Amino acid sequence: MAVIKANTEHTRMLARLMRAEAEGEGELGMLMVGNVGVNRVLGECLDFRNIRSIPDMVYQSPGGFEATQKGYFYQRARESEIRLARRAIGGERTHPATFALWFFRPSGSCPSTWYDQPNSGRFKSHCFFHPTPQNCPSVY
- Domains by residue range for the chain, with CATH: 8-139 (1.10.10.2520)
Grade residue 72 by pLDDT with cuts at 50, 70 and 90.
confident
Q: Is the pLDDT higher at 69 or at 140?
A: 140
**What's the rounded Cα separation, in Å, for the pair 67 and 69?**
6
**What's the rounded Cα separation, in Å, for the pair 28 and 129?**
17
Mean pLDDT of all residues in 2-22: 97
| pTM score of the predicted model | 0.96
Q: Which residues contact 123 (CB under 8 A, 6 or more apart)?
A: 25, 28, 29, 32, 96, 97
